[in-house]
Structures are given as structure tokens and as C-alpha cells.
Amino acid sequence: MVCMQLNQASHEAVYRFVDEATGTRAIVAIHSTALGPAGGGCRLWSYASEEEAVRDALRLSEGMTYKNALAGLPLGGGKAVLIPPPEVSRPDFDRAAMFRAFGRFVERLDGGYVTAEDVGTSVSDMLHVAEETRHVAGLPQRAGSAGGDPSPWTALGVFLSLKAAVRHRCDSDLQGTVVGVQGLGHVGLTLCRLLDGAGARLVVTDLDPERCARAAELFGATVVAPDALIATPMDVFAPCAMGGVLTEESARAIQARVVCGAANNQLADSRVGRLLAERGVLYAPDYLVNAGGIINVAAEYLGETPASVEARVNAIPQRLMQLVQRAAGDSRPMNELADEMARSIVFEGRSAQVA
């Protein structure tokens, strides 16, 4: 295994690992350990270049610092991105060996970084990571303990926040509310189920037509093309795919009055948050509302119970509404206020209480 440290002033440490035997490459970015070991999932994605993978790891790990701080967790922020070898999609590819190699990378960091699932990785992948290190969560749940796939908790936190945001911004419940869900993966599909149960009308999209067909069949969702969703008339836009979906252009085109979804780094840059606020769109900061998964991961790693996870996830919408009140009072965009509060918790030791 080759391990190299990359120079990055914004982060405590950034590592590039290569395992020649399996062709596995990974970037592990540790943004901050001020509040505890750097916690954040492992993303498996075919990046166009290694520079792009590094950029993604840097942004995602900084977001994890803020997410963990606002959720009141004793964790710093980190993220791993795994760059698979070209043969990853071949049926005889040894995926288990790739995740064991990644587990050895994590072990080298000696508890400074705790990993779990993210886009492209699953509970069974984390089981292979766990063969090499104990600094991993998102493993099958044991009776009485937190654990398992974090995505249902992420979906629940987003759902409860979305409901609270609609109550505030549209003065209504979800019955008949039109919600556009982008991305029908682990989180998106579960979110659709919760929304459908609350009587919302769904407009959905995914790059995978089979996932769209499934949502249409299960929930009577209307399917639109991936690039058509944002400008489709709807009350709420719920991004649950990849980051950077809200650009200046898409923020001008958006029809929704609320944006609330699971995707990390939804804003292409912070000016977009200001533009949304100016247009009267309530933007629920992504790392605040999608914290359910890491709350579950943290509880598993720290040996807590599912009841503690439930209590923390149920508190997410309250935290969101406190932020909404404060943003209105200070005439500030939600994203700027959330970043400022998270930084004050991490770097000035303020309490995670929003009020």
C-alpha cells in the first residue's frame, strides 16, 4: 500500500492511498477533528479525474464538519472517495478485495477517521471494510443497538424537515403538495414512500429509467427527464442525487417555494443561497436536514441505542425552524447563517443549540 499526504491548507490532512494489488485508489480528506474523530461516509464514484475526486472529498468533508457540529455530535468532519479501477463493472471484479483494501487505509489512520456508507456503497461493502478495521459503522444492526443502513434515517430527517418547511412557507400540510424528487436511490425512494404516505403528489426523476418506473408503479409518481425537473411546476424540490444541482441558472428557473432534500452540497456556491432567498424560496440547508444518517452512524460507533437516534432525528425539524426564524429576523440567507453557526460551534466552542 502506498500512502501519500497531499498539501491542503483548508484541511487538517488529506491522504491519497493506492493499493497496487487490487488497483484501489482512495482519497481521505480530514477537514476537522476539533469535535472528535472525523466522521463521514465513503463514496464510490467514477470521477473524470483524480483532481475532481480530491475536490469532491474536500467539499464533502468540510460539509461533514458542519453537519456533525449542527447535529450536536462528538465527531469532526471527514470523507473518503474511492476511485475504482476500470474493471469495476466486470462481473468477475473482486469488490470485496477493494473494500478490504479500503479498510486497511482506514486502519492506517488509527481512529482519526470513521467511515460508513455513502453514494455507491452499501452495508455489505462496509462488512468487508470491517474485516480490516473497527473504525467503520453502517454495519448490520444488532439487537438493542443502533446500526444498519443509515439511509432510512436520512430520509426520515429530510421528510420531517420538509413537512415543517411546507407548514411554514405554504401554510399547509403535505396532502396534495407537489414534491419533485431528484434521485431515487437509497434515500430518494424511501423519501418518496414517506411523502406518498402523507398524501403528497410526486414528480420524480433519475438517470436510471428502471428506478423511475418503480416510483411510478409504487406511488403513482409522474416521471420527467432529469434535466426537466427543476423547472417543472411544484411546491417543493427535493434533491436526492448528486451535489451542485442549484446553480444561478437553475435557482432562477426553479418553480418550488421550498428546497429540502438529502443531496450533499446542493448549492454550486453560496451566492446561490442568497439568490434563492431573494426569490422567496425557503432553502433548508442540506447538511442540517440530511444529518439522520450520520446520527445513526455516530450512535452505532459510540454504542448508543436506536431510541437516541430517533430522538436526535426528531429534533432536526425543530433546529431547522429555529434557523428559519433567525434568518427572517436577521434578513440573512439560510445557508450563510447555517455555515456561520456551524463554524462557531467548531472553532469557538459554542453550543450546538440553535436558539
The one catalytic residue in 16, 31, 67, 79 is 79
Kindly indicate which of the ranges 23-31, 239-247, 309-317, 328-336 contains the residues binding ligand NAI, using the contact rule CB under 6 A.
239-247
Residue from 240, 289, 309, 337 binding ligand NAI (CB under 6 A): 240
CA distance 299 to 310: 10
> Is the CB of residue 41 less than 8 Å from the CB of residue 67?
no
Residue 68 touching ligand NAI (CB under 6 A): no
The phi, psi pair for 259, rounded to 5°, reads -120, 120
DSSP 13: E
Binding to ligand NAI in span 140-159, by CB under 6 A? 150-151, 154
**Is the Cα torsion angle 189, 49, 116, 296 positive or negative in sign?**
negative
DSSP symbols for 37-98: SEE--EEE---SSHHHHHHHHHHHHHHHHHHHHHTT-S-EEEEEEEE--GGGGSTT--HHHH
The phi, psi pair for 133, rounded to 5°, reads -150, 155
Residue from 33, 68, 182, 232 binding ligand NAI (CB under 6 A): 182
Residue 226 touching ligand NAI (CB under 6 A): yes
Residue 186 touching ligand NAI (CB under 6 A): yes
Residue from 126, 234, 241, 289 binding ligand NAI (CB under 6 A): 241
Residue 65 touching ligand NAI (CB under 6 A): no
Examine the residue annotation and report whether 163 is marked as an active-site residue of this protein: no
Residue 277 touching ligand NAI (CB under 6 A): no
Residue 244 touching ligand NAI (CB under 6 A): no
Residue 206 touching ligand NAI (CB under 6 A): yes
The residue among 172 and 314 lying less far from ligand NAI, judged by its C-beta, is: 314
What is the smallest separation between the CB atom of 246 and ligand NAI, expressed in angstroms?
A: 13
Residue 208 touching ligand NAI (CB under 6 A): yes
Q: Which H or E run includes 323? A: helix 316-330
Residues 6+ apart with CB under 8 A from 241: 182, 183, 185, 188, 206, 207, 263
> Is the CB of residue 154 less than 8 Å from the CB of residue 187?
yes
| Residues of the shown chain interacting with ligand NAI in the complex, contacts defined by CB under 6 A | 118-120, 150-151, 154, 182-188, 205-208, 211, 226, 240-242, 262-264, 290, 293
